[in-house]
Amino acid sequence: MQLVQFSAELEFDKSTKPYTPAHRVFSAFGGKTPKIQPREPGANIRDEKEKIIINWQYEKCAIRFEKTEDPIECMSIMTRLMETIDSAVPIGKLQSTKVITEWILPAPQNDFASLSELYMRKMIAPNEFMKGTYDSSIVLDIKMGDFILHHQSGPMERKQLLEQYLVYKHDNLPKVLIFLYTIATYAKVVNYNKKEMHNIIENAFRVCERHSSEFGKIWEGYL
């Protein structure tokens, strides 16, 4: 399967989550701060050439790649970007770490209707309840070692992929495809450090990669 999106999302632990400037102003004047922390825009940075998005909020930070031909290089860049963020706003403890991947498998011999029929035949046991269904998807959560893997898959057209899942323009995408969306979540609280974060992200990516390979085997000889 072809990887088209690779991202990591770090959820900050509440004990080390930075206060917003508005929260600090309330405190400086001795006023009672609101129970709900004031919303502030955070930072959203885009690199159009490299197809990278960095989104930093007070609750979490996400780094997204859509130029994914070399996942190892993506991980190296991701680690460097996290170090830059940590030098500006210390990350501290993390409540959870997620790696999110999107994969596609071209179906050049199919239109959407025939691919949907094939997907249902392969993935869903036939029953009276499903009669008349023209589109479908499978959603699963699977325990894999230290990770929980979220799986969502289904038949898809290029237009939906571009409008709902990808941010940047992509050439040479298939007209019809099998789509696989995975999230590998490491839900243990950890203190951020460069080496451990790189290891967690790499292990999470390998979980997604192995799953995509196993899922891809289902379609061998059918597409």
The confidence band for 185, taking pLDDT boundaries of 50, 70 and 90, is: very high
Residue 179 lies in a domain: yes
Answer whether residue 150 is part of any domain.
yes
d(CA 130, CA 128): 5
Q: How far apart are CA 94 and CA 11, in angstroms?
A: 6
Residues in the chain, how many? 223
Q: What is the pTM of this model?
A: 0.90
Q: Does residue 223 lie within any of the structural domains? A: no
Distance, CA of 148 to CA of 198 (rounded, Å): 18
Q: Confirm whether 187 is domain-assigned.
A: yes
pLDDT for 42-97, tens place per residue?
899 999 999 999 999 989 999 999 999 999 999 999 999 999 999 999 999 999 99
Containing structural domain, residue 111: 2-217
In sequence order, the β-bridge partners of residue 56 are: 43, 61
Residue 164: is its pLDDT beyond 80? yes
For 187, which DSSP code?
-
Q: Is residue 222 part of a domain?
A: no
Q: Report how many domains make up the chain.
A: 1
Do the beta carbons of residue 202 and residue 75 sit within 8 Å?
yes
61 three-class SS? strand
